[in-house]
Structure 1
Amino acid sequence: MSLDPALSGRDAPPDDGPFAAYLAGQLTAQKGFSPGVVVPELEAVRDACDYLLIRADGLQFSALCIVDCEADATRTFGLSMEQTRAAIDACRGYAGRMGFSRMPVHLHVIEVRDRAVDADTRQRLSAYKRRTLFSKSTVNAWALDTGHAGVWSNAPAPMRWGLGRWFKGLLSRPRQAASADADGRRLPAVKPGWPWLSFVIAALLVAVYGLQIVFAVAPGGRILGFDTQTLFALGGLNPAAVFDNGEWYRLATAVVLHGGLLHLLFNLIALLLAGFSAERLMGSAWFAATFALGGAAGAALSLYLGPPRMVAVGASGAIMALLAAGLICSFRLVDNAERLQIQMRLMFMLIPSLIPGATHHDIGGATDYAAHFGGALAGAAIGVLLRGLWRRHAATPPGQPLAALVAGAALLVLAGSAIAVADNYPRYAEVVQYIPAEAIPNQWSDISAAQARDLVAAYPDDPRGHYTLGRRLLIDGRYVEAERAFRDALAAYRAHADDFLDAFEPEMRVFIALSLALQGQAVEARREAAPLCAQFDNGDIHQALAATDLCKPADQL
C-alpha cells in the first residue's frame, strides 16, 4: 500500500486563528505529521474533521482527526465507533514490520472546545477505543478545553502522560510560531560518523577472549567455552575472593571476560547496536565513561547479591548501561521515524535482558541478572543527567573532557588489574587432582601402608591421601612416619583449603599431637595440643585430647 502525498488546501493549517488550526500547525511542525497526505481508506474520516493529519514513514502509521467545536457548541465528531474502527482497520497495510510483527496503526479523534468536558461528552467519546489490549489498530479520543486549559482522554496512561502533557502545554502557554525545535532542545538526527570506539571496545573483548583460549587451565581450554577454574584464574568475579582475599581487581577484569563464544557474540552484537545509536548521540567520551561506570555498577551489584562461590564474567552490565543511556538520550531527537527506529532497536536488546528467562546466551552458567540491572540503573542515571545538562543546539552533551578523564582512569584501573591477574594466575591456574570418593577406604584397616603410599603418590596434592597413610602407620605402630604423614596432610590442606571443610586442620593437629605423645615426646605433644585445648572444650576433638591427657597440666599427671 502507498500513500498519495498530494496537498489539500482545506487541510493545510494556518499560522493563526482558532486553536484547532494552531494545534494542527504545531503537530505538523513538532510531531512529524503532515496535513497533505491522501489516504483513500480515511476519506470518511476526513469528511468528519476540520484537519486530518497523517504520520506515515514506512514503519509507523498514525492519523489525527481534529474537530473544531469552539465556534459551534453543537458540533461533534460525526462517525460512529464502528465506522471509525473499520476505517483505521483498512489502514493496517501502511504500517511497517519490526521483526516478524507488523506495527500497530493509530487514529486519534480530537475535539477542541472552549468549555469544560461534561459527563455526556466523556461518555460519548469513551466509546472510541481499541477492541482489546493487543489490537493492531487502535482508536482513542481526546477533548481539549481551551477555556480552562483542560485535557481529557481515554488513551492509555503512558500516552495521556506524554501526548496529554504536550497538549496541556500548548493550551497553557502563549502561542508561538510553529517550529520542529521550538525550544532549541531537539536534534534533527544523530550526529553523522562512524562509531569507532564501539569497534575498539569490541576488538578489545575479542583480544581478551583470545587470551582466555591461550591461558585456559587444562582441560578447560576450549574455544566454545571455559571451565570455572579458568575464569576464576583469569579474574572472574568471586565474592569470597574479593571479600576474604581483598582481590578487588576482579570488579574490573570480570567485565572483559566471557564464559563462552555465544556469550561473547551476543555481547558484541548488543555493543555494536548500542554504538550506532548511543555513541553518535552521546559522543565517544561519554560512551566510554558510561561503559566503564556501567560495568563497575553491574559488577558491584552482582558482588553484593551473588552467592559466595559464584564466578561471574561478561560485559553485559556495561552494555546494559549503554543501551539504557542511549534510550534516554534518544528523546533528545525530534519525534520522527529515525527516533522510533533507534528506540525500538535499543529496547529490543535492553528489555529482554532484564527479564529472567527471556535470554539464554551464557555458556555453562546462569545469566547474571544482578549485573544487568546494576548496569541498566547506572546507564539510566547517566542518561537522565546528560539530558538535564544538554545545552541548546549542542550536538553532544557537555562534559566531554570529564567523561574522557573517567574513561582514562578506568583504562588505568583495568591495566593495573591485569597485572594483578598475572601475579595470581600461577597459583589459581594450578591443576589439582583429588582422590575419587570410591578410592578412600571406609576403615583404615582395609588398606595397607603400601597401598596408602601409592594413593599419596598418585594424588600428592590431596591431604586425604596423606591422612590415610598417617592413620595406617599409627595402626602399624610407626609413629615417627605417622607424624610426618599428618604434617604433610596439614600442608596439603593449607595449600587447597577452599576445597575442604574447616574441621580438617584441627583434626590433623590432634593426630600430630597423638603421634608425638606415642613417641614419648610429651612436652612437644602438649605444646602442639595447647591451642586445641583452649579452642575445643567439648565434642570429638576434646574427647580425643582428654583420652590421652594432652590437655592436663604437667603437675596433674
Structure 2
Amino acid sequence: MEQAPGSPQEPQDAQGLPGCYRHPDRPTGIRCTRCERPICPECMVSASVGFQCPECVRSGSGTGHAASASQPRTIAGGTIASDPRLVTKVLIGLCLLAFVFQLAVGDSFDERFELFGRAPTSDYGAWEGVAEGQWYRLVTSMFLHVGYVHIAFNMLSLWWIGGPLEAALGRARYIALYFVSGLAGSALTYLLTAPNQATLGASGAIFGLFGATGVLMRRLNYDLRPVIALLVINLIFTFNPAFNIAWQAHIGGLVAGLAVGYAMVHAPREHRSLIQYGTCAVVLLAVIVTVVVRTAQLT
C-alpha cells in the first residue's frame, strides 16, 4: 500500500494521532484530501469534499470549491486571516484597558461611569440599571472584572481557548459566537439573580467558546476527555459558594456556545452562512425575550 507523503516522519501522540505537518505539536485526525498530509484546524481549507492543506490550495492543485474560491476558507467557511488570533488579542486588550480604567477611577467608578456596570462596593445594581432601560450594561459588564486574579484567569482562558477557535472559525463567526455567548450569560444572570446583585466578567463569553471548542473537537474526532475533565473542574468551581461565582453567566454562555458552535461547524455547505448566522439570530431573540420578560417583572 502506498504511503501518504511524509507519513514515515509523522509524530504521533498517545492516542496514535499524527501531528499536523505544519504544527507537529498538534495531533489531528484530519488529512488533506489531496496530498493526505495531516492538518490541524488552523491549516484546514474547506473543499468541495473534506479539507485541503494551504499548499494544495495555493498551488492550484485542489479541485472544486477550494480551487475556485478567491480565498481559502476555514472549517466553518470563514476567510483565513494572516493573523488568526487578531480578534482574541483585541478582546483581551479591551478587557485590560477597562480594568486599568477601573483601577484609575477607583470608588467613584459607578457614580461617574454608570454605563460600564456596577463596581462590587457600589449601592447601585447593574441589573437594576437594565430594568430602568440601560440595556447596554448587558454588554459592557462583559469587559469588566472584580480583581487581579479574576481578570488574569479569564484572560489566560480567553487566550488558550479563543486563539485556536478563532483560527478554526474565522474572525466574523468567532466575533458572533463570542458576543452571543456573552449576552446569553448576561441575560440568564439578569433573569435569575436579585435586581440589586451585580456580576462582572468575560467568563460567560469564555464558557461559550468552551462549548464551541468541544463541538469542534467532536467534529474533528479529537479525544474529548481532556475537555470534559476541564469542564467538570470549572463547573465544580462555578457551583462552589465559597468562590461567589455567577453560575448563571457560565451556564447561559455554555449553552449558547454549544448551540452556535454546532451550527458553525456542522452547517452544510449549501446555505451555510444562513444557517450559522440564523442560529445566532435565534439565540439573540431568546436573549431579548428573556430581558424583556425580566424587565416586566421588575418594573
Q: CA deviation at 1:371?
A: 0.2
Distance 2:109 2:254 in 1: 36
Partner in structure 1 of residue 129 of structure 2: 241
Distance 2:109 2:87 in 1: 35
> SS of the residue aligned with 2:206?
helix
Given that residues 273 and 345 in structure 1 are in contact (C-alpha distance below 8 angstroms), is that contact kept between their aligned partners in structure 2?
no
Q: Which has the higher helix share?
A: 2
| Residue 280 of structure 2 corresponds to residue 399 of structure 1 | no
Give the counterpart letter for 2:14 in structure 1.
Answer: L
Distance 2:184 2:143 in 1: 14
Where structure 1 has 5 or more consecutive residues not aligned to the other structure, the ranges are 1-13, 16-27, 37-55, 63-178, 221-225, 411-557
Partner in structure 2 of residue 196 of structure 1: 86
Given that residues 270 and 349 in structure 1 are in contact (C-alpha distance below 8 angstroms), is that contact kept between their aligned partners in structure 2?
no
CA gap of 1:280–1:372, structure 2 versus 1, over 3 A, is same
CA gap of 1:254–1:218, structure 2 versus 1, over 3 A, is closer
Distance 2:127 2:205 in 1: 19
| Residue 192 of structure 2 corresponds to residue 314 of structure 1 | no
CA gap of 1:352–1:313, structure 2 versus 1, over 3 A, is same
Distance 1:291 1:316 in 2: 10
Q: Which has the higher strand share?
A: 1
1:369 pairs with 244, 247, 254, which one?
A: 247
Partner in structure 1 of residue 23 of structure 2: none
CA gap of 1:61–1:361, structure 2 versus 1, over 3 A, is farther
Distance 2:229 2:106 in 1: 34
Partner in structure 2 of residue 438 of structure 1: none
| Residue 234 of structure 2 corresponds to residue 353 of structure 1 | yes
Distance 1:359 1:278 in 2: 28
Deviations 1:380-438 (A, max 9, x none): 0001212331439xxxx9439x86xx89xx9xxxxxxxxxxxxxxxxxxxxxxxxxxxx
Aligned residue runs from structure 1 range 130-145, under 5 A:
none
Deviations 1:434-468 (A, max 9, x none): xxxxxxxxxxxxxxxxxxxxxxxxxxxxxxxxxxx
Deviations 1:488-540 (A, max 9, x none): xxxxxxxxxxxxxxxxxxxxxxxxxxxxxxxxxxxxxxxxxxxxxxxxxxxxx
Partner in structure 2 of residue 515 of structure 1: none
Q: CA deviation at 1:197?
A: 1.1
Given that residues 352 and 359 in structure 1 are in contact (C-alpha distance below 8 angstroms), is that contact kept between their aligned partners in structure 2?
no
Q: CA deviation at 1:361?
A: 10
CA gap of 1:360–1:268, structure 2 versus 1, over 3 A, is farther
* Structure with bigger RCO (C-alpha 8 Å, 6+ apart): 2
CA gap of 1:191–1:180, structure 2 versus 1, over 3 A, is closer
Given that residues 239 and 245 in structure 2 are in contact (C-alpha distance below 8 angstroms), is that contact kept between their aligned partners in structure 1?
no
Given that residues 298 and 374 in structure 1 are in contact (C-alpha distance below 8 angstroms), is that contact kept between their aligned partners in structure 2?
yes
Where structure 2 has 5 or more consecutive residues not aligned to the other structure, the ranges are 18-29, 44-82, 111-117, 285-299
Given that residues 317 and 374 in structure 1 are in contact (C-alpha distance below 8 angstroms), is that contact kept between their aligned partners in structure 2?
yes
Give the counterpart letter for 1:372 in structure 2.
Answer: H
Q: CA deviation at 1:209?
A: 0.5
Partner in structure 2 of residue 387 of structure 1: 265
Given that residues 42 and 164 in structure 2 are in contact (C-alpha distance below 8 angstroms), is that contact kept between their aligned partners in structure 1?
no
Q: CA deviation at 1:200?
A: 1.0
Moved over 4 A (4+): 179-182, 343-349, 356-362
| Residue 149 of structure 2 corresponds to residue 271 of structure 1 | no
Distance 2:230 2:101 in 1: 28
> Which structure has the larger Rg over C-alpha atoms?
1
Partner in structure 2 of residue 59 of structure 1: 14
Question: What's the TM-score once normalised by structure 1's chain length?
Answer: 0.33
Q: CA deviation at 1:59?
A: 2.7
Give the counterpart letter for 1:389 in structure 2.
Answer: A
Distance 1:344 1:191 in 2: 21
Deviations 1:224-282 (A, max 9, x none): xx95245x77xxx6333322x22222111111111111100111011011123211111
> SS of the residue aligned with 1:246?
coil
Distance 1:316 1:242 in 2: 20
Distance 2:15 2:146 in 1: 39
Distance 1:361 1:282 in 2: 36
Distance 1:277 1:347 in 2: 18
Distance 1:265 1:380 in 2: 25
Distance 2:241 2:199 in 1: 15
Deviations 1:111-135 (A, max 9, x none): xxxxxxxxxxxxxxxxxxxxxxxxx
Partner in structure 1 of residue 99 of structure 2: 209
Distance 2:188 2:144 in 1: 17
Distance 1:219 1:315 in 2: 19
Partner in structure 2 of residue 332 of structure 1: 219
Distance 2:209 2:98 in 1: 20
Give the counterpart letter for 1:208 in structure 2.
Answer: A
Distance 2:176 2:109 in 1: 37
Q: CA deviation at 1:322?
A: 0.9
> SS of the residue aligned with 1:326?
helix
Tell me the matched-pair count. Answer: 213
Partner in structure 2 of residue 292 of structure 1: 179
Given that residues 138 and 187 in structure 2 are in contact (C-alpha distance below 8 angstroms), is that contact kept between their aligned partners in structure 1?
yes
> SS of the residue aligned with 1:215?
helix
Distance 1:378 1:219 in 2: 31
Distance 2:159 2:32 in 1: 29
Question: What's the TM-score once normalised by structure 2's chain length?
Answer: 0.59
Partner in structure 2 of residue 304 of structure 1: 191
